[in-house]
Structure formats: C-alpha cells, structure tokens
Structure 1
Amino acid sequence: MEKYHGAIVAIVTPFINNKIDEQGLVDLINFQIENGTHGIVPCGTTGESATVSFDEHKRIIELTVKTVAGRVPVIAGTGANSTAESIDLAKSAKASGADATLSVVPYYNKPSQEGLYQHFKAIAEAVDIPVILYNVPSRTVTNMLPETVARLAELENIIGIKEASASLQQISEIIRQCPDDFIVLSGDDFTSMPTVFIGGKGVISVTSNVHPRGMADLMEAALSGDIKKANEIHYSLFPLMTSMFAAPNPVPAKKGVELMGKIKNGLPRLPLTEIDDKALQTLKGAMKDAGLL
C-alpha cells in the first residue's frame, strides 16, 4: 500500500481565548490515530490556515509532527497565493519534519494555467520535500486543469493531488493523463468512494474529524475492492458528510468534535462565526444517527 492512501484527516485547529489549544490538538491527533486515520493534514483549509500567523502555522506543524511521532504520514498545509510565501511555508514544514506538503492553487489573484505551472514548479525546485497539489475551485476560483496537473506530475517532487472539484470527469482525466504512480486523493468526502473505484488512492477528509473510524473503514473497503461493503458504509456516512457543510467549513467539524468532548471550544476565528441553530440541529441529528452522540 502506498504511503499516502486511505482516509487522511484535514484536522481542525482548536483555539482557546483565540490562541492555539495545544493540548486539545495533541488529544485530537491521538484520537485520530487510535481510530485508524491513515494520515494527518495540519494547517489545511479545515485547520483555518487562512487565519493563523506564520509563527502559529509553524508551531501547529511542529506539534503535529512531534505528536504523530512517525505513526502516520504528516502532510503539512503550506499553500498561499504568493509563491514566495508558499516556498517559505514549505521550507518551514520540511524543517519541522513533515513527510510532505499540501499546496493549494493560489486564491484570489486568478493565475493562468501557465502561472499555476510556474508557481508549483518554483515550489518543487526550491524545497526538497514531496508536494501534493490541491485543486479546490469553489474556494480559489481558478480550476487547475488536468493538462496542467499532467505537466506538473513530470516534476520529481510533485507526487500527487488533492482534487476537490467534485468532478469525476476531471478526476478521471487526471488519472488518465498522469503517470501510474501519481497519487490522486479526493478532496470531497462525497466523492471519496467513487474516486478510489476509478483509480484514486483515498481522500483528505473533513468528516474524519468526527468519525475517523468510519472514513478509514470506508477507504479500506474501497481500496480492497469490496464494493458491497464500501457502498454500505458510504450511504451510512452520507448524512454526516452532508452535515459537515451545513455551515462554512470547518465550523460544523469543530463544533462536532466539541460536542463529542474531544476539545473544549469549537469556535472558529473570524471572519468565520459560530454555527447557527439550523445547522447545529442538522449536525446533531447526523451525529446521533452515526452513533457519535
């Protein structure tokens, strides 16, 4: 089995009094590993990377690497809409001992496909660490096309992609056009099972925050080719997956782990706000149905 496979959690960052709750993060990481998670992504979108300072970013990754202690891979979120900043974050992640980086398509400034290629090429050449690309057009506006991914896949350090377009057509094109050893991970829990069945290796998951065992079981069933079992798990988890987006990510995921007693405070940082009553009821209902509450 590949090193980067299965259900990899995009872990939330707990805060107390607007500062990192370090013990809370340690507890969450141990909860994840004890329940079968195949990898940890600190400082991804779900970890509120957009609102942590550089020093906090570095500390979260350092603490994650130290706590994980080699039990599963750590894929550090290092994306930014500045190439220079992305390189700085990647260098810091490498110094902290991360196994790989997750680098998002630059947001807001809307680069061309050639701009995307040059951005990721510069990162890959500047830092000797495996790079997993991250395409999430719903957040970045720009969609990195399969042709661009295939060009980048030729570069030595670029080993895979988190593809969050939610398009099985696009995922299929990436798998078709890229080398056999290029790792394609779903960026959407909803498409994780079908992604594996068309040649992907797993998912970087939001739902894993609250149900690591369920998502790990789903990916293990799919990767082993057990279609019947994977289907059963997929549909049992589907309402929970939906509830994770009843409010902007990671608001429901953070509230979910708070409801489970895994962290003391599930509040996000501004500009994200506390979950509203309607979304909270949706979340609680899905969590109860999944046996989490």
Structure 2
Amino acid sequence: MTSWDLQKFKGVFVAMYSAYDVSGEISVNRVKKLANYYVDSGVKGLYVGGSSGEGILQSSDERKKVLEAIMEEVGSQLTIIAHTGANSTRESKELAIHAEKCGVDAISSVPAIYYRLSEQSVERHWQEMIDATSLPFIIYNIPQTTGFQLTQPLFKRMAAQEKVIGIKMSGESVYELQQFKANAGKEFLVFNGPDEQFLGGRIMGADGGIGGTYGVMPELFCQLDSYFQKGMIKEAQALQEKINSIITRLLSYPSLYGACKAILSIRGIETGEPRLPLLPIEESHWDDLKVLNKEIEESITLVKG
C-alpha cells in the first residue's frame, strides 16, 4: 500500500520543452511563460528535463535553473515530475536532491546512456537516486534511445519498493506496457510514452500519458483522455487518428522538437531553437508549419465545441 496520493499523477502530462533565448542560453522568463501556457489547458502536470526538455544536453546548473523557474511559477498549480537522470550517477543524485528541495511531486530517470550497462549497473544507478530523497520515483523506460531493455525481473525488483510508484513506458509495445501493469499491481502507475498510441496504452491499462507532442496540442490529448474515461471509444479512435496525422507531419521535419518549438513561436510563445545536435527548422519550412498550426488550432476549437 503506497503512502502517496496517486490520483495527482493520473492523467495527461506535457513533456516540457526547452526554453532558450536568442543566444541559446536558458531563459527563465521563457520557461515561466511556457509553463503558464499549460496551466489552463487541462493537463494534470509537467514532466521536466526529459527528452523533450533536452535535459541530457544541458548542464546540471541549467537543469536546476529550469526546474526552479517552473516550481516558482506553476508548482502549486500542476503536478511536477522532475527527470533527474544524467550520464553519471553522482550528477543524477545531485539533481534528485535539488528536485526535492524545490518541492517537486516525484522524480524520474532513464538508465545512464552511452555505455551499454548491465542490469546490476542500471539498478544501482536508479537505487542511488531513490535512496537520495524521500520522493516517489518513476522509472523512465525508453529502450530505443538508451539501448537498455528493461526486463520484467528487474522491473519487479524495482516496483517492489514503496518509493517506486510508476513507470513511463516509452517502448513501442502495448503488450509490454500491459505486462508492466500486470506484474506490479493495480496501484502501480503506468504512463503511456508513445504519443501515437495514447489510446492503445490507456486501453491496455495505462493510467495516463507523458508526451512531447502534447506540448502543441494538449487540449486534444485531454479530450482524448476524456473520451476514453467516458467509454466513448469510437470518438477516441477518431481523435487519435487525427492526432496521429498531425504527429506524422511533425516527424517529417528535420527535428520533431524543432517543429514543435516553431509552432509555439507561431503562437507567440518563444522558446528558441533546440540545442545542437538537434536541428532547428529551416526557413523553407515555416509556411508549411503555419498551415499545420492552423489545422491544430482548428482541431482544438472543434473538440472544445
């Protein structure tokens, strides 16, 4: 039986984007403006410093700066999950301790990247963060980028701990998602990761989702979640198909994050270019993106009725 209120973690979480100034440095003002943009969108919270937030491309000081700005601005209004994973366990622990001082609701982490690590190494990496704070911990499983396949035996050992309350399942198999839920029990939180299968994840037991493309269409994902909860599966399927057509177009640009940040710029929310090696949007793509943004905004208007 967990001692945490798990309801605050159930629903739609935007994987927060980076927010830089024109020189490519962290802009506290832009971070705060972006965080505020999501407050009234209906989302449950923000996942900070993950893939969409470019946490792995930022220094520890930059990541701390971003988290502090978000907590100061919207920490009392949204549930905040801080991704504290870094290449070194020492840095990850430091970020976890800082996150607790900031007052976040939970911490989360990928396995360390670059080195091909054993299960024992990954388990130790996560455990050091878990033991460093009193916060609940959410495993971040994304094998297609980390190269680490989370096995069910390791997952069961991690999930048996009271502090480990959930998993962000960004692998592409809804069967595997269902198995994580089955092996950990009903109270254990499973977040769907792949945005294009949000509905499939929810049907197979996910308690909500954390996603990057949510950031340009949070209202669509909130409506999709609402359709699911009301048992309106045909409507949910149709909306997921619409969302997927948008995602397919976003993926056609040089970088997904560049495209998403450009769409926000079109709406007056400036977040700068993604940090290299993530590519920015080319000048020739802006007209297409304006058309896509209009389509997204029309879809949002439609679901709002």
TM-score, with normalisation over the residues of structure 1?
0.92
Change in 2 beyond 3 A, CA 1:278/1:205: farther
Whether the 8 Å contact between 2:24 and 2:272 is mirrored in structure 1 is no
User: Deviation at 1:121?
Assistant: 2.1
The equivalent position to 1:243 in structure 2, one of 238, 249, 257, is 249
Tell me which amino acid in the other structure corresponds to 1:45: S
Tell me which amino acid in the other structure corresponds to 1:6: G
SS at match of 2:172: coil
Change in 2 beyond 3 A, CA 1:110/1:284: farther
Instruction: Return the alpha-carbon distance in structure 2 between the equivalents of residues 165 and 278 of structure 1.
Output: 33
SS at match of 1:250: helix
Whether the 8 Å contact between 2:28 and 2:65 is mirrored in structure 1 is no
Whether the 8 Å contact between 2:196 and 2:243 is mirrored in structure 1 is no
Give CA-to-partner distance per residue, 1:39-66, whole Å, 9 cap, x none.
1112111111122221111111111111
Tell me which amino acid in the other structure corresponds to 2:105: D
SS at match of 1:94: helix
For 1:134, the equivalent position in structure 2 comes to: 140
SS at match of 1:40: strand
Whether the 8 Å contact between 2:19 and 2:27 is mirrored in structure 1 is yes
The equivalent position to 2:129 in structure 1, one of 123, 127, 131, is 123
User: Deviation at 1:268?
Assistant: 1.2
1:52 lines up with 2:58 in the alignment: yes
Superposed, 1:160-171 pairs within 5 Å as 160-171=166-177
User: Deviation at 1:196?
Assistant: 0.8
For 1:214, the equivalent position in structure 2 comes to: 220
The equivalent position to 2:265 in structure 1, one of 258, 264, 276, is 258
1:26 lines up with 2:32 in the alignment: yes
User: Deviation at 1:113?
Assistant: 2.1
User: Deviation at 1:282?
Assistant: 6.0
Tell me which amino acid in the other structure corresponds to 2:263: G
SS at match of 1:184: strand
Provide the aligned C-alpha RMSD in A: 2.0
Tell me which amino acid in the other structure corresponds to 1:84: R
TM-score, with normalisation over the residues of structure 2?
0.89
User: Deviation at 1:273?
Assistant: 2.2
Instruction: Return the alpha-carbon distance in structure 2 between the equivalents of residues 23 and 9 of structure 1.
Output: 19
User: Deviation at 1:285?
Assistant: 4.4
Whether the 8 Å contact between 1:80 and 1:86 is mirrored in structure 2 is yes
1:78 lines up with 2:84 in the alignment: yes
1:13 lines up with 2:18 in the alignment: yes
Tell me which amino acid in the other structure corresponds to 1:89: L
Instruction: Return the alpha-carbon distance in structure 2 between the equivalents of residues 243 and 38 of structure 1.
Output: 26
Identity of aligned residues (%): 28
Whether the 8 Å contact between 2:50 and 2:83 is mirrored in structure 1 is yes
Give CA-to-partner distance per residue, 1:261-293, whole Å, 9 cap, x none.
211x53111222212467666644443322369
SS at match of 1:272: coil
Question: Where does structure 1 lack aligned partners over 5 or more consecutive residues?
Answer: none
Tell me which amino acid in the other structure corresponds to 1:189: D
Change in 2 beyond 3 A, CA 1:137/1:282: farther
SS at match of 2:121: helix
The equivalent position to 2:102 in structure 1, one of 91, 96, 109, is 96
1:37 lines up with 2:72 in the alignment: no
1:69 lines up with 2:75 in the alignment: yes
Instruction: Return the alpha-carbon distance in structure 2 between the equivalents of residues 292 and 29 of structure 1.
Output: 22
Equivalent residues, number:
292
The equivalent position to 1:154 in structure 2, one of 152, 160, 165, is 160
Give CA-to-partner distance per residue, 1:66-92, whole Å, 9 cap, x none.
111321100011111222221111001
Whether the 8 Å contact between 1:42 and 1:61 is mirrored in structure 2 is yes
Whether the 8 Å contact between 2:255 and 2:280 is mirrored in structure 1 is no
Change in 2 beyond 3 A, CA 1:281/1:170: farther
SS at match of 2:251: coil
For 1:198, the equivalent position in structure 2 comes to: 204
SS at match of 2:95: helix
SS at match of 1:3: helix
Query: 21-30 or 222-231: which moved more?
Result: 222-231
Change in 2 beyond 3 A, CA 1:147/1:252: farther
Instruction: Return the alpha-carbon distance in structure 1 between the equivalents of residues 84 and 115 of structure 2.
Output: 17
Whether the 8 Å contact between 1:62 and 1:97 is mirrored in structure 2 is no
